[in-house]
Each structure stands twice: as structure tokens, then as C-alpha cells.
Amino acid sequence: MARRLSGDLDEDRFKPLRLMNGVYLQLHAYMLRVAIPYGTLDSREMCRLARIARVYDRGYGHFTTRQNIQFNWPKLAEVPDILADLAEVEMHAIQTSGNCIRNVTADHFAGAAADEVEDPRIHAEVIRQWSTLHPEFSFLPRKFKIAVTGAARDRAAINVHDIGLQMLRNEAGEPGFRVVVGGGLGRTPIVGPTIREFLPKAELLSYLEAILRVYNRLGRRDNPFKARIKILVASVGGDVFAAMVEEEWQALRGGSLDLPEEEVARIAAYFASPPFEALPAQDTGFEAMRFEDRDFARWCRTNLHAHKQQGYAILSISLKPVGGVPGDATAEQMEAVADLAERYGQDEIRVSHEQNLVLPHIRLRDVHAVWQGLVAAGLGAANIGLVSDIISCPGLDYCNLANARSIPVAQRIATRFADLDRQHDIGELKLKISGCINACGHHHVGHIGILGVDKKGSEFYQITLGGSAGEDASLGDIVGPAFSYDDVVDAVETLVETYVGLREKGERFLDAYRRLGPAPFKEALYAGH
């Protein structure tokens, strides 16, 4: 930084370094992206993020679909101070940008989910360490994103990452990974092919090194839009790519990349389950509050999830209040969450790729108290998984790459569906909005996806239907001509009403779309136009 401000480095040479440290130049200001490895935070780290928001920024931060946090208004000259403040809690902004292996993401219910084979963060951490300042892979053709899930239920969108890893057991009962390569969104959305059905856990790094080496050598560098690994995999075919990786892997495996069991055990110890109490499966106090308090009951329906330990629950904190900016939290809210995590939640907080927060280990008997604390902090939205729980990229309001605004569209849709009873009646509906083709808002994999485009200086919005980021991953179909900024909210409402009119009992929007196809939705949107 000193070298840049003093003129020793010009912008051309400074920019890649600035980006390596997570500092972008956006529309109105610089933006600093801070890595939150696999979305896991403790209260001390969360309080530090709150402090940075208050001291160096405008009192808030923005949680992203990469489980990171972004600050929208830092001053370049103060970035070294921010990084020093982060370093005090062992946090940093390295590899949140640039053509390197980015922050590794994982299931936000890791270590708590009732359905997982093993905590995916152990190997996400193994990968994080291996990829940190990797000498061979710091100047890849393009950025590289890896996601890990420990369960068959995919909460980490592994099928649309450069590499997706799903933990599973083979016939002998040994844990390992299914390896998906070359998925992605952006201008060429692809659900990645599986190139290996089972990879023994111990050989993970040599296999990843083989994939990265093939990509580093053969990935296209002539055109940044064709440089992601998905283009390479698609151009040679998943089977051929798998064979290339296999050949490289056979030459690499068995070397010093195989982690000794003690080393894995050492890392695993960091993710050991907190000491759980032996509790009954039901808590009478909790049940009573649910019976008495309708608001609480409604919130429990969407924001609580099954925990592996009897008597506990996983609790989602929605960062999608009606009319708010999806993923934003004020410094005070971050501190409130940190406080609740410390008092009730084993000092653990998670950031989800759906731009919400999670308290993974809450005793059932404490759930009501935590809920009250959240409501007091303005974090009580009971909408996880519902139509107003929208993923939205920053869009043209902040981002230098965007063609159209995203956040105001999300705000208007959430406001239109503000009636919580109506949202609960509509049920699970994943709505995702991107302000440009780069698809940071994951629109391709939204049950309803919205893509902002620029048409002769005006913002228009293309709608896709039927996408999914889960284990049943699919890309949405474009439903027809784009809608104007003014009309897009009505269009969404029309789609939702069409579904409500046609659904069978218990059928989600996505299921109904898959059963019915696009015809009735097209008809409703465009008939009479």
C-alpha cells in the first residue's frame, strides 16, 4: 500500500496485488472483501467485523453468497489498518480475489446437521491450508472456487462450483468424496459432471493438485470469458477430462501431499463437537411457547432445522427483513448475534451462501430467548426459504460490473409479499437476482431467477424458472422476453399466483414447475401482450 501511495507501484501493477488482498474499486468507493473460511465465525471475530464496520465503514457490512463479508466504503489508505485489525483475530482478505483458489465454502449446517457423514469443514480447512499462497496455482487462467458438503442434501451448491466435493461412504463404509468438476454460473452456466464417484479421504490433496495442474496448463488464457475450468471440461468432455486428471494423479499420488492421520486428527480437533448436554428430545417450555406465541411458532416453522444432537436445534437468522438489503447487517446487529452465540450457542456462528447467518447449536429450551434477542435486534424475520428470502448480488447500486440494479428489485418483491401468512402459504420458493451475466446472485439456480440486463440504457429483467442449487441441481429456463424495472415485480407475483392456483397438495413451486413445465407460466405472463 505504501508502495502504491508513494508512486513506487503504478495502478497496473498495484491492481493485481490490491485484488489479491480483496480490495476492489467499485462505483462509489473501494470495497474490501474479508474471507470467512467455510463461513464459520466465533463471537470475537464477529465483534471485530462489527468494529471494522463502525470505525472504517458506514456502520454495516454485507454478507455474500461466498460466505464472506464485504465492506462497501473503506478508504484505501486505511486498508492496512483494517487488515491489521483483522489479523489480531486471525482473519484476512487474502485470496478473496484474483485468479487463485478462493475461499473454500462449506455447508453452513456443518457439524450440526442431522444428515451429515462427517463435518465438511475439516477437509475444507485442509484445502484452505493447502491452497494458501500456493506457488503453482496463484496465477491460474481464472478464479477457482471449491465447495464441500458433508451430507447428501446439498446446502453448498457443489454442482455449480469449479470443484464440488460431497462426502459419502463407499461400500466398505469408508468415508471419501464424490468429485464434481466444471460446474458454474456466469455467462456459461453448467451443472458440473462427476469425474470421480469415490475418492478416499486421505488422497484428497493429490487429486485436487492433479485437477488444478491440468487446468493451469490447459485452461484457456486468450479470453477471460472462456477461461474458467468449466469451459475446459465442457470442451474436452467430462470423461476425457477425468482421464487427464487420472493420468496426472497416478503420477502424483502417494507423495507428500497425503496427509498423515495425525495431521487430519489435529485439524479435526478444531471442529470437534462442543460438549452437548444429554437432553430430552422435547422441551416442554419450548413447546409451550410455540403453542402460546403465534409469531414465535411461525418463525420456528421456517428458521429452525434438525440438529444431530437430541434436544438441540440449528437456528437460521434471516438477513432479509422486508425492505432491507439482502445480506446486510449493522454493527449493532453483528454484536447482538455475537452476544447470543456466546450466551446460548457454544460461541459459534455461520454465514450461509444464501446470505443469512446461522447459530448451529442452540438448546431447544433456549430457542425462545434467542428469538426474543433477535427480534429486539431487528433480526426476527420468519422467512427462511420463503419468497422474501432472496439472494441478491449488489448490482448496479454498488458494483462496477453490473448492468442493472438488483437490491431495489429484491426490496420491492419482498415488500410486495410482506404479508407473512401469504409467504408461509406460498411455501418454499428460492428467488435469486443477479445484476449482470456474471451471476453473483445465482439466478440460474433460483426456482425463480431474475437477471438484470441493460437495454439501450434502461434496466430490464429476464426471468428464468425451474433452477435449483441443491442435490437436484438444474438450470432455469428463460421464460420469455424481459420485463422493465417497473413491471418485474408484477411478473413475479403473476408467477407465484399461477403456481398457487395450479399446485397439488404439499407441492413446492419447483415441484409444480417441473410437473407442469413452462407453458402455464408463460401463458399467465404473456397472454394478452
List of residues contacting another protein (CB under 8 A): 4-5, 7, 11, 13, 16-17, 25-30, 75-77, 99, 129-140, 205, 213, 216-217, 221, 251, 255-257, 259-260, 262-263, 266, 323, 325, 396-398, 402, 404-405, 407-408, 411-412, 415-416, 454, 457-459, 489
Q: Report the nearest approach of another protein to the CB of residue 481 (Å).
A: 20
Q: Which residues of 310-328 are buried (b: 16+ CB within 10 A; e: fewer)?
A: ebbbbbbbbbbbbebbbbb
Residue closer to another protein by CB (options 326, 373) is 326
Query: Whose CA is closest to 51, among 85, 79, 83?
Result: 85
Can you tell me the distance from the alpha carbon of 125 to that of 131, in angstroms, rounded to the nearest whole number? 10
SS3 per-residue string spanning 69-138 = EEECCCCHHHHHHHHHHHHCCCCCCCCCCCCCECCCEECCCCCCECCECCCHHHHHHHHHHHHCCCCCCC
The answer to whether the CB of 436 falls within 8 A of the CB of 452 is yes
* Phi, psi (degrees; rounded to nearest 5) at 274: -65, 165
Residue closer to another protein by CB (options 5, 376) is 5
The answer to whether the CB of 263 falls within 8 A of the CB of 216 is no
List 35's β-bridge partners, or say none.
none
Q: Report the nearest approach of another protein to the CB of residue 434 (Å).
A: 16
Contacts with 25 (C-beta within 8 Å, 6 or more apart), sequence order: 31, 400
Burial class (CB in 10 A: 0-12, 13-18, 19+), 68: buried
Can you tell me the distance from the alpha carbon of 162 to that of 185, in angstroms, rounded to the nearest whole number? 10
The answer to whether the CB of 148 falls within 8 A of the CB of 154 is no
Can you tell me the distance from the alpha carbon of 140 to that of 392, in angstroms, rounded to the nearest whole number? 28
Q: Report the nearest approach of another protein to the CB of residue 213 (Å).
A: 5
Can you tell me the distance from the alpha carbon of 208 to that of 465, in angstroms, rounded to the nearest whole number? 34
Q: Report the nearest approach of another protein to the CB of residue 355 (Å).
A: 14
Residue closer to another protein by CB (options 322, 478) is 322
Residue closer to another protein by CB (options 251, 272) is 251
SS3 per-residue string spanning 376-411 = HCCCCCCCCCCCCCCEECCHHHCCCCCCCCCHHHHH
Packing angle of the helix pair 407-416, 488-502 (nearest 10 deg): 40
Query: Coil, strand or helix: which one is 146?
Result: strand
Q: Report the nearest approach of another protein to the CB of residue 312 (Å).
A: 33
Residue closer to another protein by CB (options 174, 261) is 261
Q: Report the nearest approach of another protein to the CB of residue 417 (Å).
A: 11
Q: CA 397 from chain center: how many Å? A: 21
Q: Report the nearest approach of another protein to the CB of residue 353 (Å).
A: 21
Packing angle of the helix pair 367-376, 294-303 (nearest 10 deg): 100
Q: Report the nearest approach of another protein to the CB of residue 325 (Å).
A: 5
Residue closer to another protein by CB (options 132, 309) is 132
The answer to whether the CB of 189 falls within 8 A of the CB of 469 is no
Query: Coil, strand or helix: which one is 179?
Result: strand
Residue closer to another protein by CB (options 69, 190) is 69
Q: Report the nearest approach of another protein to the CB of residue 321 (Å).
A: 11
Q: Report the nearest approach of another protein to the CB of residue 256 (Å).
A: 4
Residue closer to another protein by CB (options 57, 366) is 57
Can you tell me the distance from the alpha carbon of 178 to that of 362, in angstroms, rounded to the nearest whole number? 31
Residue closer to another protein by CB (options 38, 296) is 38
Q: Report the nearest approach of another protein to the CB of residue 395 (Å).
A: 9
Q: Report the nearest approach of another protein to the CB of residue 356 (Å).
A: 18
Query: Coil, strand or helix: which one is 206?
Result: helix
Residue closer to another protein by CB (options 258, 428) is 258
Query: Whose CA is closest to 401, among 446, 364, 453, 349?
Result: 453
Residue closer to another protein by CB (options 136, 425) is 136
Residue closer to another protein by CB (options 453, 516) is 453
Residue closer to another protein by CB (options 282, 400) is 400
Q: Report the nearest approach of another protein to the CB of residue 218 (Å).
A: 8
Element (H, E) at 163: strand 163-169
